[in-house]
Amino acid sequence: MSIPFLALIPATLRSTTPLLLTALGGMYSERSGVVNIALEGIMLFGALAAAVTTQQLEAPILAQTPAAQVAWIPWVGLLAGALGGVAIAFVHALVCIHYKADQIVSGTAINLLALSVPSLVLQSFYGNTTNSQEVVNRLPLWNGFSPLVYLAFALVPVSWWLLFKTPWGLRLRAVGEHPQAADTVGVDILRMRYGAVMLSGLLGGLAGAYLSIGFLNQFVRNMSAGKGFISLAAMIFGKWHPLGILGSTLLFGATDALAIQLQGGDVMPPVLIQALPFVLTMLVLSGMLSRIRQARPPAALGKAYSK
Amino acid sequence: MLLLLANLIAVLLFLLCPWWVLKREFGGAGVLAGTFGLLDPQNLGIPDTLAVGWIPGFSWAWVLLALGSSLALLIRERQLRARWLYSLGIAGLLLFGLGLLRFYGAIGAVNGVALAEGILPARLPLRRFSPSLASYASLAYALLLLLLGRLQLPGGKAFLVRRRQIVVPLSALGLAVAVGALVVWMLRPGLGASPDLTPFLNLTTKLDLITYTFQLLFSPLTHWSGLFQSLLLATPLIFTGLAVAFGFQAGLFNIGAPGQLTMGAIATMLVGVYVPGPGWLTLPLSILAAAAGGAFWGGIPGWLKARFGTHEVINTIMMNYIAASIFLFLISANQYRFFGYPVTLPFKAPGPEARSYEIRPESRIPTLLELLGLQGSGAGELSWAWPLALVAGVGVYLLWKGVSIQKRLIASLGAGVLGYLLGGILPGWPVEVPAGLAAIRLNGAFLIALLAVAVVNVYLWRTIEGYELRAMGLSPKAAEYAGVNLGQKRILAMAVSGALAGLAATHYVLGAGIEEYRLKQSLPANVGFDGIAVALMGQNSPLGITLTALLFGVLLTGGLQLNLELGISRELVTTLQALIVLFIAAGGLLPTYFTDPLQAAQVEMDAQRAMTSPVEKEGIPESNPPSAPQPQS
């Protein structure tokens, strides 16, 4: 039994990217005090918007010249994916911040929507409820990697700088830790929270677009398959800190890559391998969190703010 | 202002929307009758003898009514204004009734002539017809006027706030329907609409499509077989709704019902297929296995929370995926290789499909018809055994008050057994079973669900343990201070919650809820998620959950019809459920005094003060109550 370990490294980077993007997004939201269990749904809506937009844009061009590659189309698709994520995150923000709903319930509702609404959309566009038409214009590859891979890893230091070295980051953390105090010094709590949740929607939407027009070339029903929840766990395990998140998502990405490698071998049945990342998540969360006690969520996490 | 806007919308609806659909085809195409005459975009044609000339005048009457109510809103004195709104509301109800009578009268006249000529009932000229959007809008408008009238009187707001347990779910349901209508609007062209239609016709056919969509969704309410089919689909929802609600009451959010259901299904399949043993024991054992499988899967996150403090939400989600993997592992193949070594499993039945062996006959839950001693359609004898047992058991429980709960339960159990034996001796009652009802596969799992509802109700509100559990849900710290062992209680709560979700498997596997008496890949584990919607809409109360589950059962049954007739995906129903969760979480988008108990109490106090104070607040526009002290979070 020999696993080509060198081949695992690029595979790990590729599997880490959606997790890293989503987890960083979730970090902004939770640092501002809004639990974002809707990451899974955000990812799915982003993936759907990206795939459908790309396919609809290229359809008239493909009708004239089959298999035509147009450079700008996937970028518009990517933008659409990001906007799809922002739109659905806005719903979450509105319900949680303005109507002060239970944030976990709201997130769960959005995840439920993400299981059913894509089917309705797919049916109206393509006449089936499970997948979209394949797109020809996928995101380009730079040196074998999607641009989003570079973006995700570049966002780690950027996020660190934003969060800990800028006034905006200071305010964001204050809003999540002690909103009353932040309010007293003139920080607009609600605006900060709306912004942070929608930023998480932007990053989650990008991750979704990466899945549908970067990793694959179509939208498949429920294609995120729990990646949103894994990023949530990775964010908690990474202690709501960009560097911690980088470490934890790399761990989960490596598990994912390993699982894909193992699919081919006869080490374990593939159906059981699919459960590996989830088992690992549970082990990591319960086993290690209990020892790392200083991993403390933002104090105002999950609490609606009213003056 | 808002009310005048509502009136404007009402007038537009009355003028633009079709009032009645005179003839409806299977695919949804129809002849619409509106204010400005008949619309027949598909040239279906109706008999000339159909009298519908009264419809324009009728709709103008409604427009007059709406104008009248707009004027009534301008009256300054509150008492008088209320009286006017009441009168107009009652006038509206009468007008609605009159329209209904005239419409059915006109249809009946045409069909009556045809029947007299000897045409078969199945070939009548006007077989399928219905009221349409403007009719429904007029009924809603009349009711709204009555409600507005009540709101004008002193204590009107408190009247509404006091009923917030009904108002909030209803508002959420209404909003979900509105958004659902918008989704249908965006995704589908109007019925029979072609590109060259005028904008007016396009609009009307679209509005008709939306009306027809929701008519189909709620259509199971109108006939018996639809209702029974709804009960069938509601059965698993009662279980999963109870499971989620039980967790909510303990302050735990159990999103793991899909996984717990799956594990319950696996456990009950293992017992039902492989445990031999005496016939009378295997069925109870299989049911217990379903509960135990779910309890095990639910207990793990409970234990992890108690021991390590990890959040149950993430753990239950992870365990859903793990359960799905184990499920596939067991039934999708018999040969696997672990590290190169072949392993053989005995669970998958031969054949291309991923499924287990059949449950042995002794472990199957009979259908309700079989429980009543009937076999299929046609003549049969109704056995009194189970009905009597049920009546005796429940009757004794309800009537014998004033003793401890244990004594009451034992007594009602004894009465149930007595009733069963007595009913077995009594001679049967000859009945005729129509074919429509015989096709319904509603099974005994429904009774188990009702039993679970009763047990959860008693446990939560009539026992000390249940009281402790709810106390923990309201304030863990206070409960701990009062001596509740939080860790133990959390494990217990999650295990019971899991057991309830696992019991849903009795319906699917033992009761053939998935068409066969076996574990199949089509096991709809997602029903576990629907339980969240059911619990939220049912306000976590057993009665509310039962009613909500029935409502969702109706929607799911109607969804099948929708798919069949209009080709709209059943996912619309799932979308509606998710929207209901979202809107209920947001308090139905109602003002906060509907959701915040403190502010609700404030409204109540203000109302009482206004009632008792001698100063009549005439001519003063409705003022906001002094804002309640806001609880600081």
* More confident of the two residues B624 and B306: B306
Q: B341 — phi, psi (to 5°)?
A: -90, 130
Interface test with B, best of A39, A103, A105 (most B CBs within 10 A): A105
Q: Among all residues of chain B, which has the CA nearest to that of A304?
A: B633
Interface test with B, best of A88, A100, A108, A267 (most B CBs within 10 A): A108
Give the distance from residue B202's alpha carbon to the nearest chain A alpha carbon, in angstroms: 18
B329 vs A contacts (CB less than 8 Å): 269, 271-272
Give the distance from residue A113's alpha carbon to the nearest chain B alpha carbon, in angstroms: 6
Total number of domains in chain B: 2
Whether the per-residue pLDDT at B551 is higher than 80: the answer is yes
- Residue A293: the pLDDT is 53
B40-77 core/surface letters (b: 16 or more CB in 10 A; e: else) = bbbeeebeeebebeebbebbebbeebbebbbebbeeee
- Residue A31: the pLDDT is 92
- Residue B633: the pLDDT is 39
Whether the per-residue pLDDT at B523 is higher than 90: the answer is no
Give the distance from residue A24's alpha carbon to the nearest chain B alpha carbon, in angstroms: 18
- Split at pLDDT 50, 70, 90, the class of B197 is low
Residue B416 falls inside a structural domain: no
Residue listed under structure tokens 């039945």: B349
A120 vs B contacts (CB less than 8 Å): 183, 187, 569, 571-572, 575
Interchain proximity A286–B310, CB inside 8 Å: yes
Whether the per-residue pLDDT at B260 is higher than 90: the answer is yes
For helices B542-566 and B571-585, the axis angle rounded to 10 degrees is 140
The class that CATH gives domain A5-293 is: mainly alpha
Residue B420 falls inside a structural domain: no
Residue B46 falls inside a structural domain: yes
Residue B139 falls inside a structural domain: yes
Arithmetic mean of pLDDT over chain B: 83
A102 vs B contacts (CB less than 8 Å): 585
Interchain proximity B339–A268, CB inside 8 Å: yes
Q: Among all residues of chain A, which has the CA nearest to that of B576?
A: A113
Q: Which of B516, B467, B466, B464 is nearest to B496 (CA)?
A: B466
- Residue B628: the pLDDT is 44
**What CATH number is attached to the domain comprising B145?**
1.20.140
Environment class of B148 (CB within 10 Å of its CB; exposed 0-12, middle 13-18, buried 19+): buried
- Residue A291: the pLDDT is 59
DSSP letter at B509 equals: I
Of B318, B339, B585, the CB nearest to A102: B585
Q: Residue B103: in which H helix or E strand, if any? A: helix B78-116
Q: A220 — phi, psi (to 5°)?
A: -120, 140
Query: Can you tell me the distance from the alpha carbon of A91 to that of A97, in angstroms, rounded to the nearest whole number?
Result: 10
DSSP letter at B510 equals: I
Q: Among all residues of chain A, which has the CA nearest to that of B569?
A: A120
- Split at pLDDT 50, 70, 90, the class of B190 is low
Domain boundaries, chain A: 5-293
Residue B76 falls inside a structural domain: yes
- Are B209 and B323 contained in the same domain? no
- Are B456 and B517 contained in the same domain? yes
- Residue A80: the pLDDT is 94
B603-614 core/surface letters (b: 16 or more CB in 10 A; e: else) = bbebbeebeeee
Q: Using the Cα atoms of residue A212, residue A217, residue A223 and residue A228 in order, give the sign of their dihedral.
A: negative
- Residue A294: the pLDDT is 53
CA dist list (Å): B391 to A84, A149, B311, B369, B557 = 55, 67, 44, 17, 29
Helices (H), chain A: 5-31, 39-64, 72-93, 103-126, 147-165, 167-177, 179-184, 189-209, 227-237, 242-264, 270-273, 276-283, 289
DSSP letter at A287 equals: I
Residue B586 falls inside a structural domain: no
Give the distance from residue A244's alpha carbon to the nearest chain B alpha carbon, in angstroms: 18
Of A226, A285, A307, the CB nearest to B310: A285
List all residues 6 or more positions away from B562 whose beta carbon is below 8 Å from its beta carbon.
Answer: B213, B216, B217, B568, B570, B572
Give the distance from residue B449's alpha carbon to the nearest chain A alpha carbon, in angstroms: 24
Q: Among all residues of chain B, which has the CA nearest to that of A41?
A: B578
Amino acid in position B440: I
- Are B79 and B203 contained in the same domain? yes
B317-347 core/surface letters (b: 16 or more CB in 10 A; e: else) = bbbbbbbbbbbbbbbbeeebeeeeeeeeeeb
What is the pLDDT averaged over residues B503-529?
86
Q: Which of B123, B126, B114 is nearest to B22 (CA)?
A: B126
- Are B206 and B90 contained in the same domain? yes
Q: Among all residues of chain B, which has the CA nearest to that of A305?
A: B633
B592 vs A contacts (CB less than 8 Å): 100
- Are B360 and B311 contained in the same domain? yes
Amino acid in position A302: G
Q: What percentage of chain B exceeds 70 in pLDDT?
A: 94
Q: Which of B17, B127, B116, B117 is nearest to B62 (CA)?
A: B17
Interchain proximity A274–B321, CB inside 8 Å: yes
Q: Among all residues of chain B, which has the CA nearest to that of A118?
A: B571
- Residue A288: the pLDDT is 67
Query: Of B524, B549, B572, which residue sits at a domain end?
Result: B524
List all residues 6 or more positions away from A286 whose beta carbon is below 8 Å from its beta carbon.
Answer: B304, B307, B308, B310, B315
Residue A37 CA neighbour count, 13 Å, CB half: 24
B252 vs A contacts (CB less than 8 Å): none
- Are B99 and B202 contained in the same domain? yes
- Are B193 and B238 contained in the same domain? no
Of B329, B575, B584, the CB nearest to A120: B575
* More confident of the two residues B95 and B626: B95
- Residue A22: the pLDDT is 94
Query: Can you tell me the distance from the alpha carbon of A140 to that of A146, in angstroms, rounded to the nearest whole number?
Result: 6
A236 vs B contacts (CB less than 8 Å): 314
Q: What percentage of chain B exceeds 90 in pLDDT?
A: 17
Give the least confident one: B152-156, B262-266, B323-327, B617-621: B617-621
Assembly ipTM: 0.90
- Are B142 and B249 contained in the same domain? no
Give the distance from residue B304's alpha carbon to the nearest chain A alpha carbon, in angstroms: 7
Residue B399 token pair = 């009537």
What would the pLDDT profile of B48-94 be if each residue is shown by its tens digit?
A: 777 777 888 888 888 888 888 888 877 788 888 888 888 889 999 99
Residue listed under structure tokens 């009168």: B87
Of B314, B325, B569, the CB nearest to A285: B314
Interchain proximity B318–A281, CB inside 8 Å: yes
Query: Of B489, B509, B524, which residue sits at a domain end?
Result: B524
- Are B144 and B249 contained in the same domain? no
- Residue B94: the pLDDT is 92
* More confident of the two residues B185 and B326: B326
Of A95, A120, A303, the CB nearest to B183: A120
Q: Residue B489: in which H helix or E strand, if any? A: helix B486-505
Give the distance from residue B285's alpha carbon to the nearest chain A alpha carbon, in angstroms: 29
Residue B475 falls inside a structural domain: yes
Residues of chain A whose pLDDT is less than 70? 1-5, 264-265, 288-295, 307
Query: Can you tell me the distance from the alpha carbon of B423 to that of B418, in angstroms, rounded to the nearest whole number?
Result: 8
- Are B263 and B215 contained in the same domain? no
Query: Can you tell me the distance from the alpha carbon of B105 to that of B112, in angstroms, rounded to the nearest whole number?
Result: 10
Interface test with A, best of B539, B562, B581 (most A CBs within 10 A): B581
Q: Which of B286, B285, B329, B320 is nearest to B300 (CA)?
A: B320
What is the pLDDT averaged over residues B230-249?
93
Query: Of B465, B494, B524, which residue sits at a domain end?
Result: B524
What would the pLDDT profile of B124-144 be if each residue is shown by its tens digit?
A: 777 788 888 888 888 888 898
Amino acid in position B62: W
- Residue A41: the pLDDT is 94
Of B314, B315, B582, the CB nearest to A106: B582
Residue B532 falls inside a structural domain: no
Give the distance from residue B572's alpha carbon to the nearest chain A alpha carbon, in angstroms: 7
Interchain proximity A99–B183, CB inside 8 Å: no
Question: Could you tell me the residue range of the domain that residue B30 belongs to?
Answer: 2-153+189-222
- Residue B564: the pLDDT is 86
One-character DSSP codes across B544-596: HHHHHHHHHHHHHHHHHHHHHHH---THHHHHHHHHHHHHHHTGGG--GGGT-
What would the pLDDT profile of B4-35 be if each residue is shown by its tens digit?
A: 888 888 888 888 888 888 878 777 777 888 87
Amino acid in position B67: L
Interchain proximity A267–B329, CB inside 8 Å: no
Query: Can you tell me the distance from the alpha carbon of B162 to that of B427, in angstroms, rounded to the nearest whole number?
Result: 50
